Every structure is written in C-alpha cells, then in structure tokens.
Structure 1
Amino acid sequence: MIEAQPSPAAGALRRAVTDNESRAASRHWWDLDADDYQEEHGSFLGDVDFVWCPEGLREADAGLLGEVRGRRILELGAGAAAGARWLDGQGADVVALDLSAGMLQHARAAADRSGVTVPLVQADALALPFATSSFDVVCTAFGAIPFVADSGMVMKEVARVLKPGGRWVFSITHPMRWIFLDEPGEEGLVATHPYFDRRPYVEQDADGVPSYVEQHRTLGDRIRELVGAGFVLNDLVEPEWPEGHDQIWGQWSPLRGRLFPGTAIFVSHLPS
C-alpha cells in the first residue's frame, strides 16, 4: 500500500478506504450536513428543477435524458430530490433514492412546499432495491458516484436495473480538478496533486475513522467503468462557465470556470 501523504488541511489525507468506510462516512456526513447544504445551495437548486452542476446547466435546456414523458426514471443520490420532482412535472414516473436520511428529510419538506411528491427510497447505490430491468432512465447530478470506493460496481447495478436501450447519465467533478487545491481563488489555479493518484480524499477524526470520503478517477477510468458494465458512451459534456454567472459554489468560481472545466457529464446507454 502507498503511504498516505497529509494534505494542507488538518485531519485530511489521501488514503485507501473500504466500501464500508465510504458508506458509513457518507451517511454520517450528509445526515449532519444536510441542513447547512440546503441553506447554502437550496435556492440555487430550487424545489422543482433539475440542475446538473454548479455551472447552472439545466436539464430543461440540455435535454441529456432524452424524452422523459412516460418513462420510468430513477434518480440516484437525489438529495432533496428537486430533479426528481421536476421530472415528475414532465410526465415521468420517478423514484428518488439517497443514502442519507437527513437529505431525504429535506426532500419531504420540499415536497410539502411545492406540492409535488415522488416516492423516496433510502438505500445504497451498491445494492439497489429494485428488480432487474425496472427503469428506462437512471440519472444523478453529483450523487453516489464520487462517494463509493467501487464505482464500477455502481455502474453494474445501474445496468442491472435498466431496461435494454435504457439511458444512464451522471455528472461528477471534472477529474482534472483533482490536480488543483479545492479553492475558488487564485490559490486554486496552482497544480499540486498528481492526476494519476487515485487515492481518495479523506477527512478523519483523531482515531482515524473517516468522516468524509470523496473518490477520484481519471476520465479514462470512468469510461472503462461504463464499458465494463456494458454501456455505450454517447457524449461527454463539459459545461462552460456561463457569462454573467458570478455565484461561487465551493471550489467553483468564475475565475476557475473561465480557464478549465469543473464538471463532467457522462451520457450513455445500454444497448438493446
């Protein structure tokens, strides 16, 4: 095993973790952070909207999911499920799934505010509680994929629950962002980490128990995961930073967005 190297942040490092460590850390983190996350980002995401990324690309404009009316759709890592409620309004039959009870509590509150209700399921993306060939479309905007140690297995689970010909679309932090510090300002323009260091970013307590885990894979890794699960890649979308968009979201900012991509959206399908 490669020895973990400390990062500039106290209690943070790059080291290997197990699926169980990732699962426990993600559930605990998002349960605790759900209120703060919604307070900070809820207005940007809306109660009934499908926003793919901090660049503000919306499914209503991009149409990456194709025709959704009458389709059975699963949103993985749905969080407060704004995307699922938007899809419901487009005539889709939607299920929203998330690992975190705290995030699903916000999904119920948003359903009360908006009057749009979709089925909510608390479950692990590595063991989807659905029958084979249950859905026409599976999607996620920054959910599930970055937070599991074996994302290739998530791809296989998605392939299992999709019908032949079904579409799988997911957005993640653009892999090249892992080269730089996680900062929106000029300090975030300096390359500091090797692109090919696939060890996850881990925040842990004094006992070495992970409290937050986020995984890095290269673009090639993601494509190989998709192909290995039987998918065909249709498109790789790298949203550009839009003119006039001045909102900072974590490490996303106009400064960085004008220079290099912050999001990668993979559009794929399962052959008939």
Structure 2
Amino acid sequence: MLYPPVNAHEPTRVDPDAGPDPPCQDDTVSAPLPPSHAGYFEVPDDEGGTAARGWWDANAAEYLDEHRAFLGDAGFRWGPEGLTEDEAGLLGDVAGARVLEVGAGAAHCSRWLAARGATVVATDVSAGMLGRAAVLDAAAGTRVPAVQADARSLPFADGGFDVVFTSFGAIPFVPDAERVHAEAARVLRPGGRWVFSVTHPLRWAFPDDPTFLGMTANRPYFDRRPYVETDDQGHVAYAEYHRTLGDHVRDVVAAGLRVRDVVEPEWPEWNDQVWGGWGPERGAYLPGTAVFVTTKD
C-alpha cells in the first residue's frame, strides 16, 4: 500500500502559478537534467524506473509514521478516499486463497488478509518498506512472508496464486507497467484475479490542489510525460508515470486478462482528511482513485 504521501509522490502536483505546463526540458534526454528540478519531462527509462526504490527506502519511516492511523485503522484501503476491502470485496472470498501483494509497502493489506485466512506473500522493491513491515508484524503478533522483488520480474512460478493485487503500488513508478500486468497474469492460476488501484487518470490534468482552486484543468490529459524530481546533481530522485484510462485497459488486455469492473470510489462524508491532492472539497466533484478488477481466463 503505497499511495501518495503528503510531502512528495504527488502525481499531479504543480505550482498553480506556473501556468498550464511547468518548466521542463524538451523531449530529448541527451542533455543533463536540471539540478533540484521538479516538473513534467522525459527521462531515460532506466533512471526513472529505478528511482522509486531509493525514494521509498529514504522516506519509509516518515511516511508510515505520518499516516499510521489512516493506514492501520482499517488495515486494507484501496486509496485516500478510504474505501476498504471489507466494504468493497473486490478480491472475493480470500479464506484459504493463495494471495500475492506487489508494491506492498509495509504490508498493511497483506496483514489484514492473513487475519482472514488467506495465505499471503508480500513483495516490494524497497528494503526500507519491508523492514518497517517486519516491525509492524512483530507489534501485531503476526508474520507475513515478505520478499524484496521488482513487480516486473517476480520470483514465483507460473500459476501459483489465486489472487494478485496492489493498492497504489508498483504501476505508477515504472515506465513499462505492461510488464507488471504480464507478471501478474503469469503467476495467476486460470480464473484468478488481478486487482490494482492507481491515481485516477483524470486527475493528471488538474493541479495537485485538494480545494476548489484545483478544479480547473491545467495540463493536457494526453500528455504522458512523467512527473520527475531531480536532486542537486541532476539525477532522477523520483519519477511517477501517467497513463490514460485507455492505456490501463490496453495493458491489461495485452497481458491476457479480462476487465471485470472499474471502481471509482466516491469521497465519503466521514473522511475529512487531506492527503496531497486528495481531500473532501474536490473529492466531492472529481474522482481521485480508479480500481481495476481483472481476471485470467
């Protein structure tokens, strides 16, 4: 469960005073990246696709401490709106099921599933996050097996799981999300489910402002340049990738999966928290999360 922290990893973050397209270099990537820069611009796939590991290693403790109550109270939320798996039932009956979580973070969701009779394995690319998962396991008196692994290359046999899922993990942080879907399909048994939640693609067209000021689109929805932060040396420190609704569907279908449902959680009355660009004011008007439910035929 790695959906957006407040202080960074804000998929549609943009200075509202910067105009419709913040400063960025052109689409060629041969020139050095600007130091200490944040904006929407192309970066080499290998740099952008590996940046998340270092970012989450460095920020795991702060992120989890800041959001402990919201993430831990329900145990399994699909996004900042607060929709829980207990309410939605998108994974089906998990008792006795073999379940794999990719991009698990500190494994809150896996721990919740294990308590309901599932046999769960949690994976994440970040050793920092998995280390925090072990601490939470000890505090809860439970143990969820955890494996450090890139979701694009899972160390599991074909057809070994009944359910594979991620809550805001893996997919936003790589330039080649089609490989995540292909790996999920590979390790699923026939008839199994692959369920994943992401920032709602529509949100990338809007500034990262959770109030009414964030209701005016200021970026083209079809601009697929990632949001990138560079460090003082111009190295990619963080990258997050935008895909349209159609992109997600095409990636799933190409992996041999069938789309069964797309859930767009509404903002509930009880939830008054603001989390980056998510909050009750804009949440009453615009979707912030999309959850795709797919099956392997």
**TM score, norm. by length of structure 2:** 0.86
**AA of the residue aligned to 1:74:** L
Question: Is residue 63 of structure 1 aligned with residue 92 of structure 2?
Answer: no
Aligned-partner Cα distance in 1 for 2:282–2:160: 40
Residue 106 (1) aligns with residue 132 (2) = yes
Matched, 1:223 2:249: yes
Structure-2 separation of matches of 1:19 and 1:50 = 31
Three-state SS of the structure 2 residue aligned to 1:54 is: coil
Picking from 223, 228, 232, the partner of 1:197 is 223
Q: Is the 8 A contact 1:200 1:214 kept in 2?
A: yes
Q: Secondary structure at the match of 1:46?
A: helix
Match of 1:88 in 2: 114
Give the corresponding residue for 1:2.
27
- How far is the alpha carbon of 1:237 from its aligned partner? 0.2
2:234 to 189, 201, 208: 208
Task: State yes or no: 1:141 paired with 2:167.
Answer: yes
Query: 1:194 deviation in Å?
Result: 0.5
Aligned equivalent of 1:22: 48
Q: Secondary structure at the match of 2:128?
A: helix
Question: Do residues 255 (structure 1) and 286 (structure 2) align?
Answer: no
Q: Distance in 2 between matches of 1:47 and 1:97?
A: 22
The structural deviation recorded for 1:21 is 1.3
Which residue in 1 is equivalent to 2:105? 79
Alpha-carbon contact 1:95-1:119 (below 8 Å) kept: yes
Contact 1:47–1:114 (8 Å) recurs in 2: no
Q: Secondary structure at the match of 1:265?
A: strand
2:262 to 225, 228, 236: 236
3-state DSSP of counterpart to 1:128: coil
Determine the C-alpha separation between the residues in 2 that align with 1:19 and 1:120. Answer: 27
What's 2:184 paired with?
158
What per-residue deviation string (whole Å, max 9, x for no partner) do you get for residues 190-227 of structure 1? 21110000111000123321101100000000000000
- Partner AA of 2:84 in structure 1: R
1:98, 1:123 within 8 Å by CA — same for their partners in 2? yes
In structure 1, the gaps of 5 or more residues are 5-9
- Picking from 208, 212, 222, the partner of 1:186 is 212
Distance of 1:12 and 1:129 partners within structure 2: 34
Deviation at residue 3 of structure 1 after TM alignment? 5.7
Moved over 4 A (4+): none
Q: TM-score, normalised by structure 1?
A: 0.94
2:11 aligned partner: none
Contact 2:28–2:42 (Cα < 8 Å) also in 1: no
CA drift of 1:181 comes to 1.1
Q: What per-residue deviation string (whole Å, max 9, x for no partner) do you get for residues 75-129 of structure 1?
A: 0100010100110011100000001111111101110111111100111011101
Identical counterparts, % of pairs: 56
Report the residue type matching 2:145 in the other structure.
P
Amino acid at match of 2:251: E
Q: Deviations over 1:148-207 (max 9, x none)?
A: 110011111111111111100000000000001112223322211100001110001233
SS at match of 1:78: coil
- Tell me what 1:40 maps to: 66
Question: Whose RCO is larger (CA < 8 A, sep 6+)?
Answer: 2
Structure 1 residue identity aligned to 2:102: L
Aligned equivalents of 2:159 and 2:209: distance in 1?
41
Q: Distance in 1 between matches of 2:214 and 2:238?
A: 21
Q: Offset at 1:47?
A: 7.0
Could you list the per-position Cα deviations for residues 120-142 of structure 1 after superposition, in whole angstroms to 9, with x for gaps in the alignment? 01110111011111111000000
* Residues 1:269 and 2:295 are matched in the alignment: yes
Task: Give the secondary structure class of the aligned counterpart of 1:66.
Answer: coil
| 1:88 to 1:48, Cα distance in 2 relative to 1, 3 A | farther
Structure 2 residues not aligned, in runs of 5+: 1-25, 30-35
Q: Distance in 2 between matches of 1:130 and 1:104?
A: 18
Query: Contact between 2:51 and 2:239, CA under 8 Å: does it hold in 1?
Result: yes
Opposite residue 287 of structure 2, the aligned amino acid is: P
CA contact (8 A) 2:164 2:193 kept: yes
